[in-house]
Every structure is written in structure tokens, then in C-alpha cells.
Structure 1
Amino acid sequence: MNTMQKVPTGVPGLDIITNGGLPRGRTTLLTGKSGAAKSILALQLASQFARSGIKTMVFSVEETPADLTDTGNGLGFGTSELVTEGKLRFTDLTLPLDASTIVTGDYDIVALVHRIEAAVSEFGAQAIILDSATALFSPRPPEDRLRHQFFELIRTFRRLGLTALVTAEAPDDYGPRTTLGVEDFLCDVVLVLRNLVDDERRRRTLEVHKYRRSAHQKGEYPFTITDKGLMVFPFGVQGPYEVPPAESRFSSGFAGLDTMMNGGWIRDSITLVRGPSGSGKTTLSGMYAKAGASRGERVAYYGFEETRGILLRNFASLGLPLDEFVKKGNLRIECSYPEATSPEDLLVELRRSLDEFKPSLIVLDSISSIAHSTSARGFRQFMVGFAALVREHSRSALLSQTLTIHEDDTAAPFLSTIPDAIISLDYERHQRKLTRTISVVKMRGSAHAEDAYTMHIRPGGLTVDAPRDSKAEEESRAR
């Protein structure tokens, strides 16, 4: 039995959901409505193929080679260099702007086929990009004629042994795959790009609609366009994660909490801190970051509710100065409002930080701000994607979540399955006194305190009192 050979795409996440890339010597159809990023992905693939040693030709029908080259250079594909090095070549099939179209006789692409054959032979091309078939078959011939001509085009690519990608316009996000009416069976792979409006925010997705003779991930996967092209987020796809050493622990920076957690937090774990506004979540986040930076670890702190200056000022006022660690370079604090970006862009920034800054500890304060700036589906995908990134890089993370008076810890129930540990902060009013409490709701793989401890916000951070007997507590409150 022959094993299908695949060409890696080099697009982050795409090789994961296609189980290795696109089929060598076969044709892939890339469809989507206008603005779905078809041309960008096609250009990114062409550049990656060429860079990996596969001589590639781009037949441009909608945009001129000069415009495509500028786009590729702007996205960091190094398009001009690849052309200069003889690894990538553009062939212009665009119509002159002042040209008129005269239709006579039957539609025939024999001349185009011969032109492609000659160009491929002269350049020695192994891969070809045609962008786009919709523009190529315009004006549109009769349906039977179009189907026959498109089939001849695909058969030519196959006969020449080319790894081919053809783009085509889709009339609707979930309707027919192309406006041409060409059926999917003519191509071995069909990729569908979508640019949807979800709760008043744009959300881009990619789906492997079909992949002959190969397993692939099902469903839609979010993607975003970065300064380096497309990045796909294969949420929920398990990767080859490393298993951390057993019982490897570190201090939370909060001595009382370390005791409650039987010696500190387990390394390479995700912890969720829940509680109402004013319960001490950000203070705990600052203690976590300061403790890690004091040990010489790299810490990435993302704040979504305050500006960077105010956050640093508040920590300093509480006796948790962080400026020295920022100056040393082992603590990075990034503050922004989620409404000004998208969950996918936040994941891009997190991935970039993990790859370049390489923090061992990550803080997100608070994920509630992210939830309020996107749809329920978008928030869930962000959380799953974040967890996948943390697991993939074997890092530890602290997430804070604000619970309002209309919520409890059952809000967004999927959140309970993502973290390895859940810390609950709360407070009660008794006449003029505010009593804060902290409890460990969950901690995978470790024994932990079952009682709620009384907690105080003091200069230097948080402290706890040993739990008192519940009966004595009630009698004390009654007095």
C-alpha cells in the first residue's frame, strides 16, 4: 500500500489539521467569499513551497505580479528574494484594464493549457498556484462546457505531476463551494475560508471540507492574519506534550496559600482564581508574578482591566514593587483592552511571547474582560486555544475570573475542566466588618486543604488565618 506524500504548508496550525500538509502531485481547491484571505493564503503557500526547495509558479488572473510581490514582501514572505533566486516565478494572466471582452465560438482553454505546459517545462516548476479560477472563467461559459474545461485544467496539472492550488470565489459561507458550480470531486482537497460576523465581531475560520485518502481534523478552526501571514488555531487537537516531573512544585508567593496547597503549586499547571470584584484576585496575581521574577524566572503578565502605569503604581502602593523586575527584563507587563483586538490576536501575541520571550509563568488578569468582548463561542475557543499553547510549551499559568452578583462558579461550566487548580476568593459583610475568605476548590494530583481560610489584604500582599471551628465561628459572629 502506497503512503500518500504530503507537502508541509508551513502555515502555523494548518499542517496539524491536515495531518501533515497538502498532497504532493494533486490539486487543492481553496474557496471562500470575497475578503476571506484566499489570495494571502495562496501567496503564503507559494512562498513556503519555494523556500522549501519546490520550484513554484503563480499564475495571477486577478492581481498583477507586481501587486502580489508587494503583498508578499509586506507580509514577510520574502517574495522578491525568492523570485530573484529563481525559486518562484509569476505569470501574468490579468486582462488589461482598458481591454474589452469579445465572446465568439465555444469557450476553450486549450491555448492556456499549452501556455501552462510550456511555462512549467521552461521553469522546471513542481508546484503551481492559480488565483483565481473564478476570474479565469469570466465571462462564464455554459455549465457543461465549464465543467469540462475545468476538468481538463485539473487533469493537466495531474499529468504534469504538479502540486497545485486553485482559488475560487464562494457565493455564500455555507452554501455551494464555488460560484462556478464546479463540484468538489474534481479536486483531492477542498479548503474553505470564512469571514463571519459573530456577535458584532469578525471571526475568520478555516475548514478542511474534504481530503481524499487521508485522515484530517473535522470542523472549523479559527485563524487570523498576522504580519507573517495566516495563523490557524487547531483548538482541541492534542499535541505531543511533555510530561513534567512528578511533584515538581513552586511557591505561589503567598505562604498561607502554599500551605493550603500542600507545599505550593504543581509546575506546568493552569490555575484559575475566581471571586467577586475586590476579593483580592489582582493582588494574588501580582504576588504570583513577583515570586516568579524573584526566583529569576521569566514572567509574562497580561492585564485587561487597568493601564500598565496604574497597575504598577497599585502594586507598589500595596508593597509589591515590580519595576525592578521589569527593568531586569525577566518580567513583561502588557496591558490592553480586549475590545480593541480579537481573541485570535491575543493568542498570536501569546504564541509570539512563548516563542521569543520564553516565560515559564503567565498571568491573565482577567479572563472575564475577554469573555465580555466576544461571543460565548469565541471565548470558549480562546480558552481552549490558550490551554493548548500552555500545554504545548509546558508552562504554568494563573488566570483570574471576576464573578458578579448574578454569577456563581458554575458560570461558563467548561472553565472548570480547563484548569488544574481552582482557587475561590470571597467576602461577607457582618455589620461594619468585611470578612474575606480563600479556599482551594480543586487541585489535580495533590492533597489540599478542605476548609475556607480567613484572608486579609495587608501591606505586602495577602495573609491568611488558620481556619476556626465552624460552630465557634457562628457563635463568634452571633456575639
Structure 2
Amino acid sequence: MTGGDAIKRVPTGINGFDQIALGGLPACRSTLVSGTTGSGKTLFAVEFLARGITTFDEPGVFVTFEETSADIRRNSASLGFTIDRWEGAGKWAFVDVSASLGEEESAVGAYDFGALLSRVGHAVRRTGARRVAVDSLGSIFLRFADVGIVRHELARIAGALEELGVTSVVTAERPEEYDGVTRYGVEEFVFDNVMILRNVLRRQRRSRTIEIVKFRGAQHRTGEWVFTIDGREGIVVVPIAFLASRETASSARVSSGNAELDRMCGGGFFRDGIVLVSGPSGAGKTLTGLAFTAAGVAAGERCLHWSFDETREQLVRNAGGWNLDLAAMEASGLLRIVSGYPEAASLEDHFLEIRRAVEEFAPARLVVDPLSALERVASPKALLDFVLALTAILRRREITTLYVSAPGGRFTPVDPPVIAGLVDISIMFRYTERDDEIRRAIAVLQSRGSAHDHRIRDVTIDGTGMHIGEGMRNGTPDGAK
């Protein structure tokens, strides 16, 4: 983050971006948005105008050099942007240069920028536009061999837009994701504000990020921020769009579904608590999550059970082995099971899917089993952002949440600095050896805001569920011979 400033801002209305920009784009200036093919430049330009109309009642002008106005109308309709209606209401105007470019000779000086700027000025005055989007300068500057001419004309465009008193977004192509800012290497010096959109292939999956390179004299957050393009919401920056502090914390308790585990945690889980259950395969993590869900349904609470790596049918079958009828719980309307593999979507899309289900189903409890499965499709930083954003939403809605993590995962107790700031209760399962027998054990590593049992206790699992026994010494239950 840069130092303080007093520059007036224009909120874009783009989901999460204004939090990065600390209020929006600097007013009455041009912002260069540079990116490779498929990074989201045109969408950013379209959404900048669309949100201006729908959220702030600010008309806009869209200057297009590549796609025709008809293409932009058609593509934007899928996001619910009714450009044709806005045109009819005098709130949106196109300056379509795409057709005339094809007719011009590919020679230096062939394009009349004076005529273009005159058309833009007329459209701005006719609509009373406060915002202008120009997409994309690269298609016209490809015909100029002299970089000096490119820089001169860019400065001319930026100056003309500033004189019109509009806040503008100007897109440009860049050849590589991490090699320079723009194609010609001069664009970033002409504009006061520069942003980069990236579309990087990581682990055989595309990941988009946005970075503010500079806001001259204006405060902003630095670094790359992950974003996704959603069919309903357009551009969504994660996690900034969803981080918000709560001024209150719930003191009410809910049951884990196991009376002995409740006692170990000081009386159950806090209503807005985030609980982490970790341990090796077969130790009892999934059963703990299912018991937590069943207890919620029994109490008349809506429960959302999110399963990675197990299908709904597998989960229903396995739960039946412990006399838990998930199908009946679903039929009651109090349980919703969602299952799928992490590789089926990007991390950002998984986040939006969970968030949307939380908003639509309004559960009192959520289980994500296992959270650690997402490590297969995400970098450590991206996964941390995911958990931060999701946890913020859940706390704000007072949804009691149980995360499950496998051993060696980034969110298991082997990494205390990460865990300490994310969860309220940390429960660990482990195996112990006694003579020729493998036994299960459980321990509560932390329980914020309440006393808890510090002992490692014996665990047995049978057809009726999980049973927590006495404390253990050297892998042997107290009192055992």
C-alpha cells in the first residue's frame, strides 16, 4: 500500500476492485489497463461503464477499435448488461471505429486521431457521460512503426480525455504475462495510472490476477490479486470483495454432535466459530463432520455439507454405516449436500459456488470435507486467500463451520502461524500403537474463548458412531492394563 493522498475517486462498482484501489479510480484521469489475450481487458472496460450506469447513474461512452458494437452488445447480454436499452435511454453511446480501421491503409499517419477525438467529444456531450472506455489501442498502433509517434498520439488521447472531464479506462495488449508492462514500452509512461491483468497457466489451469502498477499520487494496494469472471457477477476479485470485520461475536454454543467432544471443547462450538478437524485417513474426521451435520438437522437447523473427493452417493452410503440417514435429512429440506472434485473448476469458481450456496440456502452450519483437497488446484497464497475470504463470509453470517484437513496439508496444525489466525477450535486425530494394536486418539489443540480438555483421549468407532474415552498415557488409555 502506498502513502496517503487526497485525490478524488470514482468507484468502479466492479466486485472487489474498489477495495484494491482504495475507493476507485482517480477521478478525471485515464487508466491504462494492459493484458494478454483472454485476461479480461474488454470485460473490465465494459463493466466499468455498465456499473457506472446501474450503480451510480453515470452515463458512458464506449470507443471500440476491435469488436463491433453489435458484438459487444451480444457478449455483454450474458452478464445481464442491457446495453441496447441504455443506448435508447441516452445513457450509453458507442464510437465504433472497428469498421473504418479495415478500410484505412496500413501506413504511418493514415489514421486521423483528430476526427476520432471529435467524435468522442460529441458523444460525451450528447450523453452527459462521466465515464469513457477505449478498447483497444493496440489494434491501431500496430500500424505505426515509430515508437515516438505512438507515444505522441497516446499523450494526445490522454490529454483530450482529461480535458473532457471524464474518468476513462484505456485498454492495450501486452505480449507476455511477466515481461514488460505493454507492447511498446512507452504506454505506461504516458498514463498516470497503469493496471495489469494476467491470465497465467498454473498446474494445467488458468488463473487470472489483477495488479495496480501505479496510481500517480494516489493510494492503492500493491501486489497481484486473484480474480475470476463469473457468469452472473462479471469480474470478482477474491478475497478483497468479501473481507469485512464484525463488531460482535456470538457467545451462544452449538453441539458438535458428540457430547464428550462438546465437553472437551468447553461446552460445544461457538455459534460463529470456525473449527478445524485434521488427521490421517480413517481416523474419524469425516464421521465428526457428519455427526456435526446430523446434530444441526436434529436441532432444526439448515446444514450445508460440501464434499470434495466423495460423491453424494458415497457419502450417503458411508453415513448409513453409522445409522445416519442423509437422504431423509435432505428430504426434510434441512440438509443440502454438494459434492465434486477440486479439478472440476478453478479455486475462485469453487469459492463463488460455495458463497452462492451459502447466500441462497442460508445454512446455520457448514462442513467442507476435505478443505485440503483444494491444495491440488491452488498455490499456497491462493488457498490462504480462499480461506480468509470464505471465513469472513461465514463469521459475518454466524455460520458454525467445520473444515476438514488431511495430514501434511497447509491448514493442519503443523503450521501454527497460519492456523492461529484462522480458526477458533483445532481438533486433531492421530493413530497410536499399543502392543500389536493401532488405536485412534483425539486432542483439542486450541479452543478460543473457553477452557478445554488438554488430554489426548482414546477414540473408538463402531456402528453407532464415535465414542471418546479416557485420557491416554504413552498410547494407552488411563486405567488400561
The verdict on a shared fold, with TM-score over 0.5 as the criterion, is yes
In structure 2, which of residues 289, 292, 305 is the aligned counterpart of residue 288 of structure 1? 292
Please report how far the alpha carbon of residue 110 of structure 1 lies from its aligned counterpart in structure 2 after TM superposition.
1.4
In structure 2, which of residues 200, 221, 230 is the aligned counterpart of residue 226 of structure 1? 230
Show structure 1 runs of 5+ residues with no match.
none
Please report how far the alpha carbon of residue 145 of structure 1 lies from its aligned counterpart in structure 2 after TM superposition.
2.0
Q: Deviations over 1:398-419 (max 9, x none)?
A: 11112279x9842696345422
Conserved in 1, the CA contact under 8 Å of 2:243 and 2:389? no
Residue 200 of structure 2 corresponds to 196
In 1: Cα distance, 2:287 partner to 2:31 partner: 52
In structure 1, which of residues 7, 10, 13 is the aligned counterpart of residue 10 of structure 2? 7
Superposition map of 1:423-462 within 5 A:
423-430=427-434, 433-462=437-466
Counterpart residue type for residue 254 of structure 2: F
In 1: Cα distance, 2:216 partner to 2:334 partner: 48
Three-state SS of the structure 2 residue aligned to 1:95 is: helix
In structure 1, which of residues 241, 244, 257 is the aligned counterpart of residue 246 of structure 2? 241
Please report how far the alpha carbon of residue 385 of structure 1 lies from its aligned counterpart in structure 2 after TM superposition.
3.1
Residue 88 of structure 2 corresponds to 84
Residue 182 of structure 2 corresponds to 178
In 2: Cα distance, 1:375 partner to 1:358 partner: 29
In 2: Cα distance, 1:471 partner to 1:316 partner: 30
Conserved in 2, the CA contact under 8 Å of 1:55 and 1:127? yes
In 2: Cα distance, 1:450 partner to 1:373 partner: 35
TM-score, normalising length from structure 1? 0.91
In structure 2, which of residues 16, 27, 33 is the aligned counterpart of residue 30 of structure 1? 33
In 1: Cα distance, 2:5 partner to 2:276 partner: 48
Change (3 A) 1:159 1:362: same
Please report how far the alpha carbon of residue 152 of structure 1 lies from its aligned counterpart in structure 2 after TM superposition.
1.3
Please report how far the alpha carbon of residue 297 of structure 1 lies from its aligned counterpart in structure 2 after TM superposition.
2.2
Please report how far the alpha carbon of residue 109 of structure 1 lies from its aligned counterpart in structure 2 after TM superposition.
1.4
Three-state SS of the structure 2 residue aligned to 1:300 is: strand
In 2: Cα distance, 1:67 partner to 1:275 partner: 53
Counterpart residue type for residue 153 of structure 1: I
Counterpart residue type for residue 359 of structure 2: D
In 1: Cα distance, 2:189 partner to 2:246 partner: 37
In 2: Cα distance, 1:443 partner to 1:272 partner: 11
Conserved in 1, the CA contact under 8 Å of 2:243 and 2:393? no
Residue 333 of structure 2 corresponds to 329
Residue 214 of structure 1 corresponds to 218
Show structure 2 runs of 5+ residues with no match.
none
Please report how far the alpha carbon of residue 105 of structure 1 lies from its aligned counterpart in structure 2 after TM superposition.
5.1
Change (3 A) 1:370 1:448: same
Please report how far the alpha carbon of residue 471 of structure 1 lies from its aligned counterpart in structure 2 after TM superposition.
10
- Comparing 126-135 with 433-442, greater Cα deviation is found at 433-442
Please report how far the alpha carbon of residue 24 of structure 1 lies from its aligned counterpart in structure 2 after TM superposition.
2.6
Q: Deviations over 1:400-441 (max 9, x none)?
A: 112279x98426963454222110112234456442211101
Superposition map of 1:33-112 within 5 A:
33-51=36-54, 52-95=56-99, 99=103, 101-103=105-107, 108-112=112-116
Three-state SS of the structure 1 residue aligned to 2:471 is: coil
Please report how far the alpha carbon of residue 102 of structure 1 lies from its aligned counterpart in structure 2 after TM superposition.
4.7
Q: Deviations over 1:48-72 (max 9, x none)?
A: 1122311111111110011111111
Alpha-carbon RMSD across the aligned residues, in angstroms, is 2.7
TM-score, normalising length from structure 2? 0.91
In 2: Cα distance, 1:408 partner to 1:242 partner: 28
Residue 322 of structure 2 corresponds to 318
In 1: Cα distance, 2:343 partner to 2:128 partner: 49
Change (3 A) 1:233 1:393: farther
Superposition map of 1:224-373 within 5 A:
224-228=228-232, 229-234=234-239, 239-245=244-250, 247-373=251-377
Three-state SS of the structure 2 residue aligned to 1:467 is: strand
Q: Deviations over 1:114-156 (max 9, x none)?
A: 1211222223222111001111323125222221211111111
Question: Number of aligned pairs?
Answer: 475
In 1: Cα distance, 2:261 partner to 2:186 partner: 63
Conserved in 1, the CA contact under 8 Å of 2:91 and 2:127? no
Change (3 A) 1:85 1:300: farther
Counterpart residue type for residue 35 of structure 1: G
In 2: Cα distance, 1:475 partner to 1:391 partner: 41
Identity value in percent: 33
In 1: Cα distance, 2:274 partner to 2:161 partner: 49
